[in-house]
Structure 1
Amino acid sequence: MNFVVRSSTGIDVWEISNKDDPVPSKRVFKPFFKETRSAARCLAYSEKYFACGTKDNVKMYNLNYELQYTIPLTRSHILKFSPKGTYLIVYEIFISTKENPNSPNLFIYDADTGKELISFVMKKHSEWEPFISNDETLLAIMMSGDVHFYNIANGTFTKTTQKLSGKVGSFSLSPGQNTHVALYLQGVKGSPSMAKLFKYPNLDASATVASKSFSQADKVEMIWNKKGNGCLIITSTDVDTTGVSYYGKQALHFLATNSDSFSVPLKGDGPIHNVAWSPKSNQFIVVYGYEPANASLFNMKCDIVFDFGTGIRNCIYWNDFGNLVLFGAFGNLRGNIEVWDLSKKQQVSTSLATDTTLLEWAPSGDVYFTATTCPRLRQGNNFKIWHYSGALLFELIWPDKQELYELAWQKYAENFFKEPVISSNKIEGIQSSQPQASTKKYVPPNIREFGETGESSSSSVAPPAQGPIPGLPPGYTSSSKFTQPKKFSQRQSGNKHQNADGKSQHQQQQRQKQRAKPSNNDNKNKNNNVQVDKPQMSEEDKKKVTAIRKKLKDIKGLKEKQEKGEKLDNNQVKKIAMEDDLNKELKALTLS
């Protein structure tokens, strides 16, 4: 079982020997192939080939890693194989020059020969990706707001008369035996937005298979199950008009090829962190709400069939067989990992992988890797191989002044591996050489001077939060109750002596007088009492909070660009690296 590692020194292919040994710790991890190209940019696997792109060209290897041919493309950015591996798709970032203002930047090649079959000019990075049906007889691509279709036969792409037009925001082609098209139509002049399903080639408005209307959405993500008979649609707005969330509002909808359409009911408010279909295509999991987040398993009727409870998590990863699911707490969270056995509906293991930016299950379904990669993090790059039981099997720390970019498992035929039998037995692993994260909780500067130690329990799981704080970034909650400093209480109350319920005798006497003798100054006294009981944030602090939230919103936009494959400059990467410090500063200000 092989995996590839792309770094600043080139591309290495590793193998796992003794992968079937009943004692996982006896497995051997070693590299056996190296392509020394420091400018390696992208890679892709099919069941037959391995492709990699450099600053000089695109190279195609067989799975014995023997070079088959070279394609003279110098700006390859993304590589992708068609569903059966017949075609190689190469995407370059669009560049317009005076000599050639409309130069093609999307190419489709015959994977066996390297012959170019068709090319397109794709100026918008957000619309670059073409979809090819599972039987590889149809290509769909969005250009200038319209969806165009091409029939594929013997390597020839022939444009059809079929087209989807209008206010098309995005679309997606289903996998599976029957080809369906999911379409998002943006609402105009106060009319609602729509998501629709069509069965190709019946694309008339009267031939809609299923539809769902919803309020205006700035972004829509479409997620098909493996069989192609169900599609989840995440809608989001950039601004939440209710003021509950600084980052906008999200909703989850479901469309099925049997004409069903539902709004997926989620318990409580908060962001939708992640949505993922089971590889069996009959269920899906949603992680949602403020941290600690809920995780629920839904069926095809959008009923909750199992609740995983709350936990510190924001990511979902199914293994290829659908019998194990992993919840991760990455990004701004600490790196907690939970693995669950879906057949028994019980947790198998917990572990901690701090600073994880990449995770992927092996095709064998019993191990997975985690990695800390560049450009998300330029220090502490590494990758680790884990057993589902939580045992660490292998670790490689990247040398200083070198950067780790990407890992990927080799692709195998669907029935190449058997579904792993899940055991509750404890597996022996190795000890990580990396220092563990501090067990001390973060203490805002404004209360450190009053003797707060900030010590927490030695548990690797974060303490339960008290509840969401509206207006802060998704996933933020207050994990500790604010303690009013003694100096403040004494200065404001004017009396050090307090009775059992915590209120000064002077305050109680004053309130009794106010109740006995109403006056026109009641409202003023009430306002004064509020100021005594609670510290109020200054105008200067409010301005700082607004500025920090704007910076965090900008960082969110940069991270979305990064996830789409766009290359960021050094200043943009530095901004992303400031995210944790900004969140800490924001937390300190809002508790002051």
Structure 2
Amino acid sequence: MALPITLRGSAGIWMINGPPNIDKPHDFPRETSSKCKVMVFSKDGAMLAWSNGDCVKIFDVAANKVLKEIDRPRASLMTFSPKGTYLVIWELYTVDKATQNGLPNLSIYDVASGQCLKTLIQKKVTHWNPLFSDDEKICCRNVNNELHFYEDGKFDEIKTKLHLQKVTGYSLSGAGPPYMVAGYVPGGKGQPCFVRVYKYPNFGGPNAAVANRTFFKADKVEMLWNKASTAMLLLTTTDTSESSYYGDQGLHYLGSNGESSLVHLGKNGPVYHIEWSPKSTEFCVVYGFMPAKATIYNMKTEPVFDFGTGPRNFGFYNPQGSILCLCGFGNLRGNMEFWDVKQKKLICQTQSQDTTSFQWCADGEHILTATTAPRLRVGNGYRIWHYTGAMLEEKHVGKGEELWEAFWCPAPLERFPEKPISYRQVPSEKPAPPPVSTQQTYVPPSMRGKTNLPSTKLHEYEPPSNQKKQDPSMPVSKNKKKKEAKKNREAEKAASGGNEAVSMVTSAASAPSVPMPSTGDPEKDKKIRNLMKKLQAIEVLKEQQKAGKQLELNQLTKMKTEDALLAELKALEIS
């Protein structure tokens, strides 16, 4: 079941066929206007709406025809309600010059009839769109420190209100009933910020909140519900910080059952991306200074799997939740790692350079990456991939043109059930993308060409948690090294031919220090201890030289005194 791809750019709006019909032209009646500011799909992919600078058009995808034209030439933002019943249009706020009164700039339309159901004033673009529950029974919007609720599409009647002083953010869970509402209130004058969760419509009383989370240092909060609406993640961010360019961040878990906790991250640095699994049982966080870590957490905020570190700043689940793609876009080279979520195995790794947008197809198998303006104005175009790493299509827009957006047509999840994961790359006529470059340590010009280079690393890369058992720095390998060192000491002792002084020095250099035997003369014991320290330091230098480290001149001179020190030590022991 192929799904089309819709593109918006300076040449208008057009559609192309997705796999397996990539080479066949799509019969979408192309919109040729160069003023298409915005386009949006309904959640099920049945409707497409766009603004061409003259009006807003509502397009029936299955019938392949325009159903309605709405006279809103200044439309800047649009969204469909979850079931596609309503279309919400936002325009820039303006004031009537004659009366100096604000003009309504938020409109709610009935898609079937094209009738305007309600016009409202929404000055700020932040939280401009009213939030609907998945069944469209509840609609919520923020108005002057209050959350107003409408029911069953009756937008002329405010059914109930939730008053939160200075509320600046809110979120309505999609699944329900029961419906969950979260509100964020910033702190001030020593008071903490807080997020409270209520069960609609139980808003009265001091104990009405079913969950609560307080915290300091938060200029803004991002609230992310999981699909089942059983829990949400709160990403708190400050605008400035003494310790980080990105400001201070904190990640909090808040359950609809009242449980709350701080998500402990395994590396310092910014949080780049948070993604709930579509199965609502886990979430992935990409975080930390580069190379960034990626970790999957369960509903108890416990780490389930650590993907190690790498050049990444995004993590996207496919709609079925069976594959996770870790990506490095923006100022990174476009690295993409596809992981089998259940088996915790790497499927493949490839690269899509200059990518500015990424989207999974509803089938959970294909991916659309695009290079779009204004982020990048050169090389605009798109690529179609299979999760096994095969690039199926690559197209660039015409010379002098720009691509602004590229979207898969959405589809209900029921059309595409989860399939077994394949590790074999699908066939493709397109050339393979360039191999992912390996990280190399920078070598100064004065050291190039030399064999004994200092052991330095600019970045420490960590393997995934299921590969750390093979890491030589782990305890298993340490025990093995200790056993090998013990064998070497025994062999050196046997090879010394009874020379106890040499044997004692070798043992001291390779094993933990032990109390030296006393001769009965404190002065003589002190001289022996000093000689042993010097010989032990020489043994360490010899091991470093053997490992390839380039020693300094004074260290080489110190090594030449070994014979004299051994002779002096032997004389002290004999006397």
TM range (shorter): 0.7 to 0.9
Contact 2:84 2:111 in 1 (8 A): yes
Does residue 37 of structure 2 align to residue 41 of structure 1? yes
Shift of 1:141: 0.6
Aligned counterpart, 1:457: none
In 2 relative to 1, CA 206–503 (structure 1 residues): closer, same or farther, beyond 3 Å? farther
Shift of 1:219: 1.2
Contact 1:292 1:464 in 2 (8 A): no
Aligned counterpart, 1:284: 283
User: 1: CA distance between counterparts of 2:340 and 2:458?
Assistant: 24
Aligned counterpart, 1:118: 118
Aligned counterpart, 1:384: 383
Letter of the 1:237 partner, please give it.
T
Contact 1:391 1:430 in 2 (8 A): no
Letter of the 1:356 partner, please give it.
T
User: 2: CA distance between counterparts of 1:399 and 1:440?
Assistant: 35
Aligned counterpart, 1:3: 5
SS in 1 for 2:126: helix
Aligned counterpart, 2:58: 60
Contact 2:38 2:50 in 1 (8 A): yes
User: Within 5 A, what are the aligned runs for 1:49-88?
Assistant: 49-63=47-61, 64-88=63-87
Aligned counterpart, 1:317: 316
User: 2: CA distance between counterparts of 1:391 and 1:502?
Assistant: 52
User: What is the TM-score of this pair, normalised by structure 2?
Assistant: 0.74
User: 1: CA distance between counterparts of 2:24 and 2:119?
Assistant: 40
Letter of the 1:343 partner, please give it.
K
Does residue 222 of structure 2 align to residue 221 of structure 1? yes
In 2 relative to 1, CA 442–169 (structure 1 residues): closer, same or farther, beyond 3 Å? farther
In 2 relative to 1, CA 391–215 (structure 1 residues): closer, same or farther, beyond 3 Å? same
User: 2: CA distance between counterparts of 1:272 and 1:374?
Assistant: 25
Aligned counterpart, 1:482: none
Shift of 1:315: 0.4
In 2 relative to 1, CA 17–217 (structure 1 residues): closer, same or farther, beyond 3 Å? closer
User: 1: CA distance between counterparts of 2:88 and 2:172?
Assistant: 16
Aligned counterpart, 1:587: none
Shift of 1:440: 10
Aligned counterpart, 1:132: 132
User: Within 5 A, what are the aligned runs for 1:100-499?
Assistant: 101-153=101-153, 156-177=155-176, 178-204=178-204, 205-241=206-242, 243=243, 245-431=244-430, 465-466=459-460
In 2 relative to 1, CA 441–58 (structure 1 residues): closer, same or farther, beyond 3 Å? farther
Q: Which moved more, 1:425-434 or 1:170-179?
A: 425-434
User: 2: CA distance between counterparts of 1:433 and 1:400?
Assistant: 25
Letter of the 2:210 partner, please give it.
V
Letter of the 1:195 partner, please give it.
V
Q: Structure 1, residues 373-429: CA drift from partner, whole Å, max 9, x if none?
A: 011111110100000001000010122210001011112223112223211112233
Aligned counterpart, 1:96: 95
User: 2: CA distance between counterparts of 1:385 and 1:127?
Assistant: 33
In 2 relative to 1, CA 464–14 (structure 1 residues): closer, same or farther, beyond 3 Å? farther
Shift of 1:156: 4.7
Letter of the 2:136 partner, please give it.
E
User: 1: CA distance between counterparts of 2:239 and 2:442?
Assistant: 31
Contact 2:11 2:32 in 1 (8 A): yes
Q: Which moved more, 1:288-297 or 1:42-51?
A: 42-51
User: 2: CA distance between counterparts of 1:332 and 1:228?
Assistant: 34
User: 2: CA distance between counterparts of 1:299 and 1:29?
Assistant: 44
In 2 relative to 1, CA 504–349 (structure 1 residues): closer, same or farther, beyond 3 Å? same
Shift of 1:441: 7.9
User: 1: CA distance between counterparts of 2:173 and 2:329?
Assistant: 29
User: 1: CA distance between counterparts of 2:434 and 2:293?
Assistant: 30
Letter of the 2:120 partner, please give it.
F
User: 1: CA distance between counterparts of 2:372 and 2:24?
Assistant: 20
Shift of 1:167: 2.2
Q: Considering only aligned residues, what root-mean-square deviation do their CA atoms show, in Å?
A: 2.7
User: What is the TM-score of this pair, normalised by structure 1?
Assistant: 0.72
In 2 relative to 1, CA 39–503 (structure 1 residues): closer, same or farther, beyond 3 Å? farther
Contact 2:350 2:433 in 1 (8 A): no
Contact 2:210 2:258 in 1 (8 A): yes
SS in 1 for 2:17: strand
Contact 1:16 1:29 in 2 (8 A): no
Percentage of identical aligned residues: 36
Question: Gapped runs of 5+ residues in structure 1?
Answer: 20-26, 454-462, 468-498, 509-592
Deviating beyond 3 angstroms after TM superposition, the runs of 4 or more aligned structure 1 residues are 27-31, 430-444, 450-453, 499-505
Q: Structure 1, residues 439-495: CA drift from partner, whole Å, max 9, x if none?
A: 898989xx77x6979xxxxxxxxx97159xxxxxxxxxxxxxxxxxxxxxxxxxxxx
Shift of 1:435: 8.6
In 2 relative to 1, CA 408–464 (structure 1 residues): closer, same or farther, beyond 3 Å? farther
User: 1: CA distance between counterparts of 2:458 and 2:419?
Assistant: 34
Shift of 1:69: 1.2
User: 1: CA distance between counterparts of 2:144 and 2:281?
Assistant: 35
SS in 1 for 2:207: helix
Shift of 1:207: 0.9
Q: Structure 1, residues 555-588: CA drift from partner, whole Å, max 9, x if none?
A: xxxxxxxxxxxxxxxxxxxxxxxxxxxxxxxxxx
User: 2: CA distance between counterparts of 1:30 and 1:251?
Assistant: 48
